[in-house]
Structure formats: C-alpha cells, structure tokens
Amino acid sequence: MIGRLNHVAIAVKDLAAATAVYRDTLGGRVSDAVPQPDHGVTTVFVELPNTKIELLEPLGEDSPIARFLDRNPDGGIHHLCYEVEDILAARDRLIGEGARVLGGGEPRIGAHGKPVLFLHPKDFCGTLVELEQA
Ligand SMILES: CC[C@H](C(=O)O)C(=O)SCCNC(=O)CCNC(=O)[C@H](O)C(C)(C)COP(=O)(O)OP(=O)(O)OC[C@H]1O[C@@H](n2cnc3c(N)ncnc32)[C@H](O)[C@@H]1OP(=O)(O)O
Ligand SMILES: [Co+2]
C-alpha cells in the first residue's frame, strides 16, 4: 500500500532560522514560506534528489504542532509522509485493521494540492504518519 516517501517533516519554532540552516549551512534548495491556515502551520519545503524535507512552524492559536514543540523546544522530526495510489481505499483498509485515522477520516487538501490523511502515532511505532494521494 505505501509507496514513495514524499517528505519527512521537521517541526520548529523559528521557520526562518530553520530555513537558513537548510539553505546556508546544508546548501539545500528551499521554497518560499507558505502559510497553510487550514492546517495551522506555515511550511517550507527543501527539495532533495530523492524526497523532500518539510519544515513546519505553528500558525494561529490552536496549531496541531504546538504541544509537540512544547515537548520538543529545539524542534524535531514530526511526521513521515508516504504516497498511496488510492487514499480512500487506504483509509478504509486501515480503519478495517483498527488503525486510528485522524481528522474524522476525511482526506483534506495538503501542501501539494492533493488529499492527505494522518494516522495516530500510537498505532505506527510512535511515529505520526501522513498519507498523500500520489
Ligand atoms: C499543509 C499540510 C502539510 C502537508 O504535508 O500536506 C502537513 O503536514 S500539516 C502537519 C500538521 N498537522 C498535523 O500534524 C495533523 C495531524 N496531527 C494531529 O492531529 C496531532 O499532532 C496529534 C493528534 C497527532 C497529536 O497532537 P498533540 O501532540 O496535541 O496530542 P497529545 O499531546 O495528546 O499527544 C498524544 C500522544 O501522541 C504523541 N505524539 C504527538 N505528536 C506526535 C508526533 N508528531 N510523533 C510522535 N508522537 C506524537 C504524544 O507524545 C502523546 O503521547 P503520550 O505517550 O500520550 O504522551
Ligand atoms: Co506533511
């Protein structure tokens, strides 16, 4: 079911500083910062030859990454995003296997304009998993 690794997300308190680290210190190719109000984050993508790094900063009052950053004030790896051929079929299969699909199970449009879902970290080796329609 899961396919390509679309991105690895890193949550940070200071997106500009993190972007400078990936651009200047690591020599990465970074995108502009894009506010994603529906998701409560602002994103920067670092394009790599084989995948992407998604830098995330909280946006707004009840950002879903706020408590993660309280627990990890220096930032940290927040989630992995895998591509799937059919996100609704993947969702139904996962629910059938007892996995917790977050956000009521309805896909939402993510940073790449495609439907995404999130799976509870407690069901996936302590790792927050995002699925993106390929
Ligand atoms: C623009 C879209 C973009 C894209 O790529 O398209 C994005 O990626 S948007 C990314 C931001 N949005 C989300 O992350 C949505 C899904 N996430 C959530 O709904 C929450 O983050 C949630 C429910 C996974 C956790 O929220 P919160 O930390 O506030 O809940 P708790 O404090 O109750 O934590 C519960 C339990 O889970 C552990 N936890 C939380 N986050 C993570 C994580 N990222 N990785 C691993 N574990 C995590 C937390 O430590 C708690 O464990 P416990 O043992 O009970 O203390
Ligand atoms: Co993501």
pLDDT in tens, 13-70: 999 999 999 999 999 999 999 999 999 999 999 999 999 999 999 999 999 999 999 9
CB atoms within 10 A of CB 89: 11
How many Å lie between the centroid of ligand 1 and the Cα of residue 86? Answer: 23
3-class DSSP assignment, residue 57:
strand
Residues 105-127: tens digit of each pLDDT: 999 999 999 999 999 999 999 99
Q: How far is CA 41 from the centre of its chain?
A: 10
pLDDT for res 80: 98
pLDDT for res 130: 98
Task: Check: CB of residue 32 under 8 Å from CB of residue 44.
Answer: yes
Distance CA 74, CA 122 (A): 22
Q: How many domains does the structure of the chain reveal?
A: 1
Read off the pTM. Answer: 0.98
**Which ligand minimizes its atom distance to the CA of 43?**
1
Report the CATH number at residue 68: 3.10.180.10
- Whole-Å CA distances, 54 to 3, 9, 31: 18, 4, 10
For residue 60, the enclosing domain spans 5-133
Which residues does a 6 A CB cutoff place in the pocket of ligand 1?
9, 36, 39, 41, 43, 54, 56, 64-65, 67-68, 78-79, 81, 102, 110-111, 116, 118, 121, 126-128, 130
Active site residue 97: no
36 CA closest ligand 1 atom index:
1
pLDDT for res 97: 97
Ligand 1: residue whose CA is nearest its atom 19: 64
CB atoms within 10 A of CB 26: 11
How many Å lie between the centroid of ligand 2 and the Cα of residue 23? Answer: 19
What value does the CA radius of gyration of the chain take, rounded to a whole number of Å? 15
pLDDT for res 76: 98
Task: Check: CB of residue 101 under 8 Å from CB of residue 94.
Answer: yes
Catalytic residue among 54, 57, 83, 130: 130
φ, ψ dihedrals at 117, nearest 5°: -135, 155
- The confidence band for 77, taking pLDDT boundaries of 50, 70 and 90, is very high
ipTM over 0.90: yes
